[in-house]
Structure 1
Amino acid sequence: MSTGPLTDILVIDHTTALAGPYCCQLLGDLGAEVIKIERPDGGDQARGWGPPFVGELSAYFLGTNRNKRSITLNLGTPRGREVLHRLISRADVLVHNVPRESTRRKLGLDEATCCETNPRLIWASITGFGNTGPYAEKPGYDVIAQGMSGTMYITGEPEHGPIRFPTPIADITAGMYTALAIVAALYARERTGTGQAIDTALLDAQVTWLANIASNYLVTGEPPRKIGNAHPSIVPYQPFPTADRWIIVGVGSERLWQRFVEVIEWPELRDDPRFATNADRLQHREVLVPLLAERFRRRPAEEWLTRLEAAGIPAGPIHPPEVALNDEHLLARGMVIELEHPVLGMIRSLGNPIKLSHTPVTYRRPAPLLGEHTVEILQELGYTPTEIKRFRQEGVT
């Protein structure tokens, strides 16, 4: 039983891959009931994105589809579309990732048809390039958005070619923005009584990740350049090698710089005009950073981290994922969870970072098997056992 802020909200998830499923999982964690519609002939392609697999489900799919029920539905059939619109008539939100309007109309997923069925519906579209503009109907994955947004171009060391961020940041960002837009649209509906359409593009979402780099360019007209692990506006603010392993240090103010030079036992740097202010340090980055790197190599990481923490300077170890996912702090904050799957047993996955004091997120069910809940959902929609059997025989489900 959900006690989250979105309890009693019904979401139809007609998405595949990551952005849409991640969006709908966020809504499910917040208490919404999520019904995932999948093709009978294999379902969401992410089910097969492995190894690794747990039983028949890929780890990829397991990580973005909890708190959902799965119904298989062939929207290429009139009866399949009939079932879809019976669901839509009861739903609060529909999320899809079909890029072409002609395909949406064919499947009964277009905005006009869906909102005619239910004027209170929040109709949310997540596609590679959005529903307007010259690229609107192009297909697109996360990696395409990373490349076209400028992100890959500026990632990495200057001497290297473009580098893809190892996690699907365009998908995740688009999913988060869409979830936020859905919550805003639900709030607006309380005042207006009607739903509205949401149009999210992976490319738009990824461009927002340029953030301060985009702002710098838009103000100055100077093209951004690769600076590796350094920060374009703050020095020092990057990893450093110590005697035994790497650490990360962020000296983000002049007050912290004054403390920092004491921690590294190099007070002379304070009086060096090349490093007097952050602007000076930025100008002389190529001189300062090698000096600091040499100093950090003199002691082990733990000693430096103890000193930096005592001085109130933000710093930390650079963990591989297997260490981060077992960190006592992250475990204490519920960022690794366990869910009992009725077929696959105990499954560990990432928790939700949202912490609400009165209506917390909940983890009520693991990612579903393909069509696991088809019969019970059809029964809830009022279909008889005879009709349900016929749907299966006719390829509707």
Structure 2
Amino acid sequence: MGIWLKKHPRLNAARKDNGMSDPNQSKPTSERHVPVLKDRCINLLAPGIEAARKRGETPVVIDATLGMGGHSETLLQRFPDLHLIGIDRDEEALALAGERLKPFAGRTDLVHAVYDEIPEVLEDLGLTEVHGVLMDLGVSSLQLDERERGFAYSFDAPLDMRMDTSRGQTAADVVNSYSEEDLVRIIRKWGEEKFAGRIANRIVADRAAKPFTTTGELVETIRAVVPAGAAKTGGHPAKRTFQALRIEVNEELDVLERAVPAAVAALAMGGRVVVMSYHSLEDKIVKKVFQAGSKSSAPLGFPVELEEHKPELKTLTKAPRCPPPKKSPRTPAQRPPACALLNESEPGGPHEHRSCQELPRCVRDVGPRLTGPKPGSGSDR
């Protein structure tokens, strides 16, 4: 198993003394993290894995958002011939996942990278294609559990929010240096916050007296300008602003816009991409790429569809519907989102759009790839 990590010290002693430690941190990784929609995702990826087997190839799947390795562990247990590539920008997540996946060391490569770097990762590993890609978007359970990371608005902590703590600007850098106009833009666009103007104005006024350093300070500033009644329908008053800052700090949507096409491009014949999204901004990006790949590129009115104009991907779409909520165990970070109306394919079909009352907001599965394999490609290891 290759783990590519840039080592840097972690202040474990400080965690014990700063009052931010979480009781979950002492538990085994398998107990700290229960994978979201585990069986659903594995079942969606399975046909791509079986397609590789029928061609006599070693199935290769990328878990592009490895986290604590729950989905990857299940994949490796279910498919004993599978080779898994785990990608995560969070070094601590990679270390924890590495411990969890030790029994499968000979069939895994864990890589410190951002998931839009799929082409570079595959090139470094000597691969040209894979048979499945899984993306579980948004903030991870680990990042929410570790209060000092600053992702949660429920605890006072340093205002950080970086998924990769080894580089990049922090949330404090954003709120203390961005212009009021830019703060309005990101809070409104990334957080879909209707009180963005009020919040940005108050942030600029308060930072003039004292720069923001903690999540608690920012929460109090937001709470002062968001009407109390808004919490009855919109949840915690800081929820949307924190989402916006997290997206801005980690460039999440920019990364996603590059990552989804890269994942589709990496698919072998019959391969699949499964993406779990947690809000509409993510889902719009995923849906756009999947729909584009499922349509012919032939000009309108063109009498014959040439081979190069045929869809890369296959989609079976029925009338949209929303399934009823289901009761199931959740990790502490999980809570039900609003249910969205999304298209759903025929049962077991190649393209399934689901909405659910458990996290995530929806699961999108695209495949199988219809074109290919690429000339000279091959993923047999």
Q: Same fold (TM over 0.5)?
A: no
Q: TM-score interval w.r.t. the shorter chain?
A: under 0.3
TM-score (norm 2): 0.27
TM-score between both structures, scaled by the size of structure 1? 0.27
Higher relative contact order (CA 8 A, sep 6+): 1
